[in-house]
């Protein structure tokens, strides 16, 4: 833009700039470290508290590193009055069913919207996308009545059925398939592959990463869900893990803190695994919709 | 596209390929259209049954009086008129708007600050560690982080108050005072969502041409000027996206409040979504609850449409 003014000032300001980032950088790192500690400390406290005798759960000054390695709170948590293991199983069943459904339905629809030509294609896609602005709170009452009519309240199907399709997954996969060269598709069709074979044998394998990411995001979303489960499920045996933990915590945090933290540690494990294994994919797909748009 | 492809792939009949076999062409097109409908059918059915249908039903219910036991009775706009006289609704909507304002300012402010800090050509490993640390809370369920935070917030036994008193401050009643119960909700909301907003900012910042920043620096622009006149305009789309997401998210704030304060004391920290759930599923006043939910829907739709209009269409990008 201002190329003409560049040359004369280059050497002078170049020196000044070089000194400042040195100071700036260490201040930055210090602030970032402080922030990062703030992000991680609560989890650290959760974990060390889960390893402590309940009587010492609230010891002050707080001990940030484990003072003892007592796993009995974990045993206590899973054998307590709230059937945490059962709740975890419920959560897992729902999350797995929803993820499997989603990674079947969303790539198919995403592929159709990206690569197949059919009347009404764009209007249908826009209609689907518009569902992203319908908050769960506005549909929850009719959904509750629907589930009640079909006897699905207090049944995992009330969460699985609405979960196996969704516009976000379709959007993500459509983005991926749009990037796929049309020649690949056409070549397969010319070789005599049916539309289904082209999709199943050519396009879908290429979308492996996008599909895995969608599966992971969907699993985590379902595993973490609270609002709909809290309305559709109302017994401790059908409750999902988040509901079980809230029950265990009791009103005003009256429950056994060390055991609650042990159960919370278990509940967070899937997020931690996803974080360690798939962080990069998730970040890529989360940012793609925002930045390239 | 398909035209050119079929021409090159059918060398024996190049001249008559287009005009000569209209029957075959249209049969292929029909088959492709049918495939398209079949492929999209599950998603479309799910959309009709679980989103569009319930949305229409909610709009209808909002015009009725319905307690589940007897059939809905049409009452026109009575439920909407009733909202203006409902003090609890005013309180809970007021709280929610406060949460939204705080989320927009704090989440995006902190995210932008950390983004600028992290964007200083730090060693890659360090950048990665920081980004991971900030992002992790976002992956953990809001319920779970709220469970941890309610322990940290305890008045007498909580760590937060321990450090506050150690530094000479007064104990704060984080969860049971009408001011600080709101603050607690805001703290947890900000803490959990900063990492996501930061992620979007960092990604956007990577698109800012390095030479442009370098050139400005050579020209003697200071860091603030560079940020203000080059970086900020170039990441405006990400900023806009983040603001939209934080507004929509904060309007729906729910489970963190249930765990932290149960909406209390009184309604001091109750959000409008908690109020909807209470009216619908404790009082079974489904019509009125639907009407409130519809107002929430209209707000979120408005925010989203503004976002849709101000950025390039999602549909036509490649």
Q: Which two tokens stand for residue B244?
A: 């939209």
Distance CA B140, CA A274 (A): 10
Of A270 and B6, the structure prediction assigns the larger pLDDT to A270
Contact flag A264-B157 (C-beta cutoff 8 Å): no
Taking alpha carbons only, the member of A134, A270, A292 closest to residue A215 is A270
A17 interaction partners in chain B (CB closer than 8 Å)? 217
Q: Is B28 on the interface with A (CB under 8 A)?
A: no
- Closest residue in A to B45 (Cα) is A165
Distance CA B103, CA B192 (A): 11
Helices B2-9/A182-190 angle, 10° precision: 40
**Across all residues in chain A, what is the average pLDDT?**
85
- Where along chain B do its domains lie? 79-310
Residue-wise DSSP of A39-86? HHHHHHHHHHHHTS-GGGTT-SSPP-S-S---THHHHHHHHSSS-HHH
Predicted local distance difference test score (pLDDT) of residue A4: 36
- Where along chain A do its domains lie? 3-70, 76-291
Beta strands in chain B (DSSP E): 64-65, 73-74
- For residue A245, is pLDDT > 80? yes
Task: Tell me how crowded residue A66 is: count the other CB atoms within 10 A of its CB.
Answer: 14
Extract the residue ranges of chain B whose pLDDT is less than 70.
1-23, 311-318
Of A5 and A244, the structure prediction assigns the larger pLDDT to A244
Contact flag B241-A126 (C-beta cutoff 8 Å): no
Predicted local distance difference test score (pLDDT) of residue B233: 83
Give the count of alpha carbons within 13 A of B300, CB side only.
25
Grouping H, G, I as helix, E, B as strand and the rest as coil, residue A277 is: helix
pTM score: 0.86
Residue-wise DSSP of B168-211? T-----TTTSTTHHHHHHHHHHHHHHHHHHHHHHHHHHTTS-HH
Predicted local distance difference test score (pLDDT) of residue A190: 86
Please write the tens of the pLDDT for every residue from A6-30.
333 334 444 444 445 567 778 888 9
Contact flag A267-B144 (C-beta cutoff 8 Å): yes
Give the count of alpha carbons within 13 A of B7, CB side only.
9
Task: Tell me how crowded residue A33 is: count the other CB atoms within 10 A of its CB.
Answer: 14
Reported ipTM exceeds the 0.90 cut: no
Contact flag B135-A199 (C-beta cutoff 8 Å): no
- For residue A282, is pLDDT > 80? no
Contact flag A14-B219 (C-beta cutoff 8 Å): no
Predicted local distance difference test score (pLDDT) of residue B142: 94
Q: Which class does domain A76-291 fall in?
A: mainly alpha
Q: Is A277 on the interface with B (CB under 8 A)?
A: no
Q: Is B145 on the interface with A (CB under 8 A)?
A: yes
Q: How far is B70 from chain A (nearest CA, A)?
A: 13
Q: What is the mean pLDDT of residues A248-267?
A: 85
- Distances in Å between the Cα of A262 and the Cα atoms of A76, A150, A203, A244, B261 are 9, 37, 44, 13, 22
Contact flag B143-A245 (C-beta cutoff 8 Å): yes
Q: Output helix, strand, coil percentages for chain A, rounded to the nearest 5.
A: 80, 0, 20
Question: What number of C-beta contacts closer than 8 Å exist between A and B?
Answer: 328
Residue with tokens 């829907």: B297
Please write the tens of the pLDDT for every residue from B169-223.
899 999 999 999 999 999 999 999 999 999 889 888 888 888 888 888 888 888 7
Q: What is the mean pLDDT of residues A195-217?
A: 90
Query: What are the backbone dihedrals phi and psi of residue B73, each rounded to the nearest 5 degrees, phi first?
Result: -115, 125
Rounded CA Rg of chain B: 27
Distance CA A157, CA A163 (A): 9
Please write the tens of the pLDDT for every residue from A135-178.
999 999 999 999 999 999 999 999 999 999 999 899 989 989 99
B79-310: CATH architecture: Orthogonal Bundle (1.10)
Q: What is the mean pLDDT of residues A273-292?
A: 73
Spatial CB neighbours of B182, under 8 Å, sequence gap ≥ 6:
B95, B98, B99, B268, B269
Q: Is A31 on the interface with B (CB under 8 A)?
A: yes
Predicted local distance difference test score (pLDDT) of residue B21: 56
Of A121 and B5, the structure prediction assigns the larger pLDDT to A121
Do residues A90 and A242 touch, judged by C-beta distance below 8 A? no
Distance CA B47, CA B40 (A): 11
Contact flag B141-A242 (C-beta cutoff 8 Å): yes
Of A57 and B174, the structure prediction assigns the larger pLDDT to B174
- For residue A198, is pLDDT > 60? yes
């Amino acid at each position: 833009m201002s190329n003409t003014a560049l040359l004369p000032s280059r050497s002078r300001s170049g020196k000044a700039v070089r000194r400042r980032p040195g100071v700036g950088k260490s201040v930055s790192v210090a602030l970032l470290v402080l922030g990062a500690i703030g992000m991680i400390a609560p989890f650290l406290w959760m974990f060390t508290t889960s390893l402590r005798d309940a009587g010492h759960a609230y010891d002050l000054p707080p001990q940030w590193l484990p003072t003892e390695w007592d796993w009995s709170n974990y045993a206590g948590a899973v054998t307590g009055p709230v059937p945490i293991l059962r709740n975890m199983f419920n959560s897992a069943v729902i999350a797995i069913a929803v993820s499997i459904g989603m990674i079947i339905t969303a790539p198919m629809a995403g592929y159709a919207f990206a690569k197949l030509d059919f009347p009404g294609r764009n209007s249908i896609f826009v209609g689907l996308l518009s569902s992203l602005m319908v908050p769960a709170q506005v549909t929850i009452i009719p959904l509750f009545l629907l589930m009640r009519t079909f006897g699905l309240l207090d049944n995992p199907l009330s969460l699985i059925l609405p979960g196996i399709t969704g516009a976000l997954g379709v959007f993500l996969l459509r983005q991926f398939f749009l990037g796929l060269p049309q020649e690949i598709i056409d070549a397969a069709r010319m070789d005599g592959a049916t539309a289904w074979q082209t999709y199943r044998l050519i396009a879908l394998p290429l979308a492996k990463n996008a599909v895995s990411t969608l599966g992971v995001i969907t699993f985590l979303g379902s595993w973490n869900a609270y609002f709909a489960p809290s309305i559709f499920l109302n017994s401790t045996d059908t409750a999902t893990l988040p509901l079980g933990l809230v029950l265990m915590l009791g009103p005003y945090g009256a429950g056994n803190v060390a055991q609650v933290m042990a159960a919370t540690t278990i509940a967070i494990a899937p997020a931690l695994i996803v974080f360690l294994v798939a962080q990069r994919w998730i970040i890529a797909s989360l940012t793609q919709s925002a930045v390239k748009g | 596209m398909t035209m050119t492809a079929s021409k090159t792939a059918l060398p024996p009949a190049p001249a008559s390929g287009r005009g000569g076999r209209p029957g075959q062409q249209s049969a292929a097109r029909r088959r492709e259209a049918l495939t398209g409908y079949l492929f999209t059918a599950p998603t479309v059915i799910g959309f009709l049954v679980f989103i569009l249908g319930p949305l229409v039903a909610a709009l209808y219910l909002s015009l009725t009086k319905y307690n589940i036991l007897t059939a809905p009775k049409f009452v026109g706009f009575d439920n909407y008129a009733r909202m203006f006289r409902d003090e609890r609704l005013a309180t809970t909507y007021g709280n929610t708007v406060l949460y939204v304002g705080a989320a927009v300012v704090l989440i995006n402010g902190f995210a932008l600050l950390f983004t600028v800090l992290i964007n200083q050509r730090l060693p890659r490993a360090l950048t990665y560690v920081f980004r991971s640390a900030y992002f992790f809370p976002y992956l953990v369920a809001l319920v779970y982080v709220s469970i941890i935070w309610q322990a940290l917030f305890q008045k007498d036994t909580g760590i937060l108050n321990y450090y506050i008193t150690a530094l000479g401050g007064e104990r704060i009643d984080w969860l049971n005072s009408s001011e600080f119960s709101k603050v607690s909700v805001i703290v947890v909301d900000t803490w959990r969502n900063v990492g996501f907003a930061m992620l979007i900012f960092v990604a956007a910042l990577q698109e800012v041409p390095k030479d442009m920043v370098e050139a400005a620096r050579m020209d003697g622009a200071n860091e603030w000027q560079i940020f203000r006149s080059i970086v900020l305009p170039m990441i405006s789309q990400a900023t806009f996206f983040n603001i939209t997401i934080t507004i929509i998210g904060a309007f729906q704030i729910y489970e963190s409040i249930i765990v932290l304060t149960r909406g209390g004391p009184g309604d001091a920290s109750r959000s409008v979504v908690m109020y909807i759930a209470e009216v619908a599923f404790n009082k079974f006043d489904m019509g009125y609850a639907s009407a409130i939910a519809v107002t929430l829907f209209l707000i979120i739709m408005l925010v989203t449409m503004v976002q849709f209009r101000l950025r390039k269409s999602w549909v036509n990008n490649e």
